[in-house]
């Protein structure tokens, strides 16, 4: 027997199919199916209970007219399609197909989503920046103590600014930033961007970090706002 293919969707965290789709699969008129659903809904004690089975919805037909529809949950399918077992030969097989598809979708939702390459780069970069930040914070605290003794207002402001920026770990390498933003490698020259970023950081007294790269060794990381300014000025 040919395997019946059905479609289950994730709508705001709820797995559902649609009444017009089920009507087509059963080979019945959508109007008649809606009447059957309305009959079931009228027997529920509350709306809170009925929406666990049937969620009111609508869709636009080809002629542009808005048509009444229902999103049907796993409970709704069991009740609705099961009610056709005696009159529609395919109903039983369709019900089984939906049970299997709901189970398949639930298992898929439980599996962790694999991280993309840009996400892995960001995670690694942030980890390195956080490690560097902890070391910088120790050094900055020592400098801050000396500056307090010398009452050097400018150095104190610079320390506070650097501490705020290191705590956020808001630093990236030029290449990691370009990957995240979807900027093609051939459209920019990383060393040139790095020189510009270094110059801006020194002019604005911003901290330049470092991270380890398997190919180039230690490379600089810059505040995201500085890279935004260079790439999108």
pLDDT at 195: 92
State the pLDDT confidence band at 181, using cuts at 50, 70 and 90: confident
User: In terms of C-beta density within 10 A (0-12 exposed, 13-18 middle, 19 or more buried), how is residue 29 classed?
Assistant: exposed
State the pLDDT confidence band at 1, using cuts at 50, 70 and 90: very low
Q: What is the overall mean pLDDT for the chain?
A: 79
Say if residue 160's pLDDT is above 50.
Answer: no
**Pairs from 145-152 (Cβ < 8 Å, separation ≥ 24):** none
Say if residue 28's pLDDT is above 70.
Answer: yes
Say if residue 217's pLDDT is above 90.
Answer: no
Mean pLDDT of 55-62: 89
Mean pLDDT of 165-175: 66
Nearest CA to 137 among 232, 58, 209? Answer: 209
Domain ranges of the chain: 9-110, 117-231
pLDDT in tens, 40-50: 999 998 999 99
As given in the structure block, the two tokens for residue 204 are 């604005």
Say if residue 166's pLDDT is above 50.
Answer: no
């Amino acid at each position: 027997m040919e395997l019946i293919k059905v479609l289950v969707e994730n709508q705001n965290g709820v797995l559902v199919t649609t009444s017009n789709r089920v009507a087509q699969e059963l080979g019945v008129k959508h109007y008649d199916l809606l009447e059957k659903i309305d009959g079931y809904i009228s027997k529920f004690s509350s709306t809170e209970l009925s929406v666990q089975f049937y969620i009111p919805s609508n869709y636009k037909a080809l002629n542009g007219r808005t048509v009444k529809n229902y999103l049907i949950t796993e409970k709704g399918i069991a009740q609705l399609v099961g009610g056709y077992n005696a009159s529609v030969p395919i109903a039983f097989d369709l019900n089984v197909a939906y049970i299997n598809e709901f189970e398949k979708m639930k298992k898929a939702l439980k599996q962790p989503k694999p991280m993309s390459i840009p996400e892995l780069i960001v995670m690694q970069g942030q980890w390195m920046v956080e490690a560097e930040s902890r070391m910088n914070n120790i050094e900055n605290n020592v400098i801050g103590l000396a500056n307090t003794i010398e009452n050097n207002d400018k150095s104190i402001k610079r320390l506070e600014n650097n501490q705020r920026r290191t705590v956020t770990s808001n630093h990236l390498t030029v290449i990691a930033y370009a990957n995240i933003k979807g900027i093609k490698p051939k459209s920019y020259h990383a060393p040139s961007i790095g020189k510009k970023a270094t110059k801006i950081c020194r002019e604005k007294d911003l901290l330049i970090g470092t991270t380890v790269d398997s190919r180039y060794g230690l490379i600089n990381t810059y505040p995201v706002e500085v890279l935004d300014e260079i790439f999108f000025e």
